[in-house]
Amino acid sequence: MTETPAPVLPAATFQRRLLEWFDVHGRHDLPWQQERTPYRVWVSEIMLQQTQVATVIPYFARFMARFPDVRALAEAEQDEVLHLWTGLGYYARGRNLHKAAQAIVAEHGGELPAEVEALAALPGIGRSTAGAIVAQSQGHRAVILDGNVKRSLSRLHAVEGWPGRPAVERRLWALAEHYTPHERLPDYTQAMMDLGATLCRRGAPECGRCPFADVCVAHARGEERRFPESKPKKALPTRTTRMLLLRDGQGRVLLEQRPASGLWGGLWSLPQFDDEAALTAWLDVHAPASRLETPRPSFIHVFSHFRLEITPQPARVERLDAVGEARRWYDPERPDAIGLAAPVKALLAGLAPFALDPPPAPEPVSASRGE
């Protein structure tokens, strides 16, 4: 097994350079930095996973306004939590945030645990997120290794291999442990994240502004874009689905709630079918008086592990008294506060009651923000 690369600088020198850069160029006015409670830091860290700061800021503000503390979040309905999460992607984060809040109230007296190990045992909180919460809200020494830190350390030391491999990740944790100081933990932790987010970026690192350009192994080799090494690629399979856009005489749309786990878990979606025959058979049983309209153009929604080709199938029914469990009528003109799957939200937003011409299909959705 490849050994951990030797640190390029003594820990004290690394810390001094980083913090001097951060004091001048770092981000000091982010909303969650203004009142660094464990709860606010925790929510921000979960939202920031796989998501850019600019995207998170308005979601964080709305979330804090509705759920100002962990008890308010724990007592909320999952539908309301997912409604405020809609559009942020990776909805398992929202579900786990809600579950963890309930566990914190039930098992920890409504206070986030102060230890990394106890935090990491909660749903959706791993070792790095737990470290960020402890370091930023309490100022205690705790090591982080999020995507930004992995990228910076991988380039700085030219660490071979994809960081998702356990052996590679262990080497990166060892380097992160070496550099983490015992003082100024909130600033150091934010500085490490800022370094990767603003300078050592994925696509176009700004090496000329980096405080470590003179010791960066990847930069010396001219191989900044090689590191960190990518995950071995597999061709994404394409699945197909038909989404039923069933509207009643009032212009309402029939929705059904997805199972708690799996694709769009717990969110509200349009009824989905593998093919036209399955959709027609369902209508024959549940809405025999309905009439099909011309299918809308298909579009692609991209997940991390597959592509989903969605064909919206409009249909009309004057009245449907019994919609069954886990289904509801949704009025696009007076939308309910519920969590919606991203492509469904886009489709519903384009609906105008009694419109004669369907709106264009939603633009293809990138995998960068997940579900």
> How many C-beta atoms lie closer than 10 Å to residue 334's C-beta?
7
What's the pLDDT score for residue 371? 33
Q: Please, are residues 315 and 245 in contact by the beta-carbon 8 Å criterion?
A: yes
In a domain? residue 233:
no
- Whole-structure pTM value: 0.78
Q: Are residue 210 and residue 249 in the same domain, yes or no?
A: no
What was the pLDDT predicted at 356? 34
One domain for residues 137 and 244 = no
Low-confidence ranges of the chain (pLDDT < 50): 1, 352-371
Task: Judge whether 5 lies within some domain.
Answer: no
Same domain, 204 and 247: no
Output the pLDDT for position 2. Answer: 56
**Co-location of 161 and 256 in the same domain:** no
* 220 inside domain: yes
The number of domains in the chain is 2
Q: Give the structural domain span for 205.
A: 11-226
- Residue 46's domain is classified under what CATH number? 1.10.340.30
CATH number at residue 271: 3.90.79.10
Q: Is 45 a catalytic residue?
A: yes
Please count the other Cβ atoms lying within 10 Å of the Cβ belonging to residue 228.
23
Annotated active-site residue in 35, 45, 107, 363? 45
* pLDDT score recorded for residue 188: 98
Residues 161 and 62 in one domain: yes
- Residue in 89, 347, 321 with CA at minimum distance from that of residue 242: 347
